[in-house]
Amino acid sequence: MNTDSVTTVRKMFRALTDFDVDGAAELMTEDIIWQNVSLPTLRGRNAVVRALRMVTKPSLKFEADMHHIIGDEFTVLTERTDILTVGPLRIEFWVCGTFELRDGKIAVWRDYFSLRDVAWGVVTAIGQAVLGIGSRSRLAPA
């Protein structure tokens, strides 16, 4: 396993969790492709940075609970729960990601997730907010 590529992907997620979009962008190639399968593909660092700025604000927090991560020099695979917090709503959904690296930077970021699972995360978050109970991911290992 090439720890440099895995470290790069971990650093990107850490930067996004810390609202450091510029730090995350430094780990990407200029011509990065970000594909959330079933959603439009974003091409180029400027487009990706614009999208990331929308989910890294004090009013909308992003976190990733990494369950598994492995890689070699050119590819990193992740299995994680992504968490979007909007005010009192904590929306959790499962994601598998593939990262292709070139010259030590992320050139392709492809995420696979179920829109049904995202919708379930929203419904669950609303129910928890209404009932005033804390959340615990139904996807995360116990």
The boundaries of the domain holding residue 124 are: 3-131
Whether residue 136 is contained in a domain is answered as no
The pLDDT tens digits of the residues spanning 8-53 come to: 999 999 999 998 999 999 999 999 999 999 889 999 999 999 999 8
| Gap between the Cα atoms of 116 and 118, Å rounded | 5
What's the structural domain count of the chain? 1
Question: Is residue 75 within 8 Å of residue 59, measured between CB atoms?
Answer: no
Whether residue 51 is contained in a domain is answered as yes
Q: What is the CATH number of the domain that holds 39?
A: 3.10.450.50
Plot region of 108 (φ>0 → left; ψ -120 to 50 → alpha; else → beta): beta
Residue 140 has a pLDDT of 47
Whether residue 26 is contained in a domain is answered as yes
Q: Which positions are catalytic?
A: 82, 111
pLDDT, greater one: 24 or 136:
24
What pTM was computed for the model?
0.82
Closest CA to 46 of 20, 19, 28: 28
DSSP β-bridge partners for residue 61 = 85
Whether residue 138 is contained in a domain is answered as no
Q: How does DSSP classify residue 57?
A: B
Question: Is residue 12 within 8 Å of residue 106, measured between CB atoms?
Answer: yes
Whether residue 25 is contained in a domain is answered as yes
